[in-house]
Amino acid sequence: MATASSPSAVHDPLPSLTARIAAQPMVGDLARRFAAAGHELALVGGPVRDAVLDRPGADWDLTTSARPEQTEDVLAGWADATWDMGREFGTIGARKGDVVLEITTYRTDAYDPRSRKPEVAFGDDLAGDLSRRDFTVNAMAYRLAGGELVDPYEGIADLRAGVLRTPVEATRSFDDDPLRMMRAARFVAQLGFTPADEVVEAMRSMAERIDIVSAERVRDELDKLLLAPAPRAGLTLLVETGIADRVLPELPALRLERDEHHRHKDVYDHSLTVLEQAIALESRIGDGGPDLAIRLAALLHDIGKPRTRRFADDGSVTFHHHDVVGAKLARKRMKALRYSNELVERVSRLVELHLRFHGYGSGQWTDSAVRRYVRDAGDELERLHVLTRADSTTRNRRKAERLQRTYDDLERRIGELAEAEELDRIRPDLDGNEIMQILGIGPGREVGEAYRFLLDLRMDRGPLPPEQAREALLAWWAAREA
C-alpha cells in the first residue's frame, strides 16, 4: 500500500484539483463572483495537499486578495449564511447548502515573541501569503479562476519525497508560531512524512518556545497526533526534540525505567508498543474508530513507575502501586492540558485498573472476583479489556499464549455471569428503603454502611433470596452494635 512518503502516492495535482472543484460547482461560481468584483480567489493549504495525495477531504479553505468587508460584499446574496468571528485575522465564514467555506484575506503576519497571537497585516499577493504557511506541503494554492497551481516552495516535490520542510527558515517559522513544532509531529503521525534535518534541529533548539502556547492549543494538537494512523512516530519526534519534556514530561521520564517483569525492556518503548497494540484492538470499542480514551490510557498506563521505583538488595527493581500513582499523575497532567472532566476520569480510571487482571494470577477466577472486576470497571469494561490485552508485550510466545488464554477465560466468565445475573446492573439485594425498614433507622450514614455491606455480600455470594439477605443484614447490624 502506498504511503504519503512514496512517489506512487503523489498524483498529477491538476486533474485531482479540477475534479474536486467540478464536484462542487458552487465553488467555481463563487470564484467567478470574486473575479467579477476584481478580486482573486484560491484554494489553499490542506485541501490542496490532500487533493494531490488523493486523500478524502471536505474542507474548503480559501484565500483572497479581497479585504474582509469586500469578501462580505461578494458573499451577500450568494451565501445562505455568513459569520465573521475570525474577522480580526481576516477570515469570513460562509455556508452555501451543505458546503462550509472559510475565506481569508492574504496575510503577512508579524508575531510578538512573547505571544502566539499574531499581529495581522493584510498582504497584496498570493506568494507572500504562502510564505507564512507552516510547511511547504501546505504552502500550495490553486487559483480557481485560471486553474493554475501555485507552488513557490516546491511543496509537490516535498510530497513526492515525503519530507516536511518550512517555506522560510525553520527557526524563523517556529519562532513566529511555536505551535508549528507540535504540528510537525502531528504531520509525521498523520501522513508518514520525515522531518527535514533543519526542522528537527530547530525543534530541538527552540523547544522552550512551546511554553508560550496555551494548554488548549497544545492539547488539540496532541489529540490530532494521537488519533493519527501512526502516533508512535510523532510522539518519538516530540520526545527526541525535547518538546515532550515541556508538554507531556511523564512520557520521556519513562526512558530510563525498566519493567519489573521484562527487565530488558525499556518502559518508554513498552508504552509505545502498548499504544500500537491497543490501536490494533480498537475495533472492539464503540464504532471501531480511533478512540482517544484508550490511546491516552495506553500511553500513560505506566507513568507511575518513575515515582515508585525501588531497588532491592539483590539488584531487582520493583514499582509497587505504580497503577495508583500513575492514575493520580494522569489526572494531574490531563487537567493541566484542559481535558474534560469526563475524559480525565475515564483515562485515570483505566490507568488505575490496568493491573487488576494480573492481581488474580493465572488460576481460576471465582465468581466473586469476576463480579468485582466488572463492578470496578463499570462503563470502561470494554476499554479495560483492550488495555489489558495490549499491555502484554512479552516476546516469550508461551507466556503470551498463556496470558491470552487466561484473559479469554475471564471474558467468557464475564459473559456467562452477565447473562445469568445482569452484571452491568449489580445492586444489593435490598434497597435503601428496605434497609431502613428492617433496621428501624432513618436516613443517614448507617444506611450507606449497610448498603455497602450488602453490595459486598452480593459480590461474594451472588443474588440472595430476600429472606437470606434480611438475615445477613440483621446479623451484620448485631455484630456492629456489639
pLDDT of residue 109: 58
| pLDDT recorded at residue 6 | 46
Q: Which candidate, 47, 6, 3, places its Cα nearest to that of 23?
A: 47
When mean pLDDT is compared over 49-58, 92-101, 114-123, 257-266, the highest value belongs to 92-101
For residue 5, pLDDT over 50 is answered with: no
For the CA atoms of 291, 255, 402, 412, what is the dihedral angle to 10 degrees?
-20
Is residue 282 within 8 A of residue 294, CB to CB? The reply is yes
**pLDDT, mean of residues 360-373:** 74
Q: Which of 478, 388, 461 is nearest to 426 (CA)?
A: 461
What pLDDT was estimated at residue 213? 94
Provide the pLDDT for residue 227: 97
Quote the crossing angle between the two packed helices 397-421 and 367-377, to the nearest 10°. 90
pLDDT of residue 388: 92
pLDDT of residue 430: 82
Higher pLDDT, 151 or 365: 151
Class of domain 169-248: mainly alpha
Give the three cell numbers for residue 343: 475524559
The pLDDT score that the predictor gives to residue 359 is 67
Distance CA 13, CA 28 (A): 17
Q: Is the pLDDT of residue 481 over 90?
A: no
Strand partners, 110: 119
- Is 137:152 a contact under the CB 8 Å cutoff? no
Residue 113: what pLDDT? 60
Distance, in Å, from the CA atom of 246 to the CA atom of 236, rounded to the nearest integer, reads 14
* 197 and 166 Cβ atoms separated by less than 8 Å: no
Provide the pLDDT confidence category of residue 8 given band limits of 50, 70 and 90. very low
Cell numbers for 38, please give them: 476584481
User: Is the pLDDT at 195 greater than 90, yes or no?
Assistant: yes
Q: How confident is the model at residue 204 (pLDDT cuts 50, 70, 90)?
A: very high
| pLDDT bucket at 78, cuts 50 / 70 / 90 | very high
Q: Can you give the pLDDT at residue 360?
A: 66
For the residues 200-205, what does the mean pLDDT come to? 97
Most confidently predicted of 387-396, 423-432, 455-464: 387-396
| Model confidence at 387: pLDDT above 90 | yes
| Residue that wins the pLDDT comparison between 62 and 378 | 62
Cell of 387: 488495555
What pLDDT sits at residue 233? 96
Average pLDDT of the segment spanning 95-121: 75
Domain boundaries 7-166, corresponding CATH code: 3.30.460.10
Among the residue ranges 13-27, 303-317, 440-454, the one predicted with the least confidence is 13-27
Give just the sign of the alpha carbon dihedral 395, 349, 234, 55.
positive
Task: Specify the pLDDT at position 1.
Answer: 33
Higher pLDDT, 101 or 423: 101
pLDDT band for position 11 (cuts 50, 70, 90): low
